[in-house]
């Protein structure tokens, strides 16, 4: 099982992850992504789903039209772990690679 991040580790990770924040009331991080339309949002989710499956670490997310709300936590650890940071970094990379 992955180890929970320490407070300094989590603070450092959030400093590198633009727009990500702690989820109030639970040990998790979250971000909302906004796209041009539903198709762009769904294409990004499909790309991330493939990454998540390879990592065997899956996000909590919801999609409403052009918006995807993401929450990341490692449930087995009851905390945010490096797996969550790695998946957030993959999301950020895919966000930067999307078609304008």
* Domains present along the chain, CATH in parentheses: 7-97 (3.30.1360.20)
Phi, psi of 79, deg, nearest 5: -165, 175
Q: Compute the average pLDDT of residues 81-90.
A: 97
Provide the pLDDT confidence category of residue 89 given band limits of 50, 70 and 90.
very high
pLDDT band at 29 (very low <50, low <70, confident <90, very high): very high
Structure tokens at 58: 């899956």
What is d(CA 61, CA 30) in angstroms, rounded to the nearest whole number?
Answer: 9
């Amino acid at each position: 099982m992955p180890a929970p991040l320490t407070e300094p580790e989590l603070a450092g990770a959030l400093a590198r992850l633009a727009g990500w924040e702690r989820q109030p009331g639970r040990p998790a991080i979250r971000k909302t992504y906004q796209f041009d339309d539903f198709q762009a949002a769904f294409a990004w989710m499909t790309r991330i789903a493939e990454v998540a499956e390879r990592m065997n670490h899956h996000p909590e997310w919801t999609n409403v039209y052009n918006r995807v709300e993401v929450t990341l936590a490692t449930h087995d650890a009851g905390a945010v772990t490096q797996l969550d940071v790695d998946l957030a970094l993959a999301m950020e990379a895919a966000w930067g690679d999307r078609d304008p």
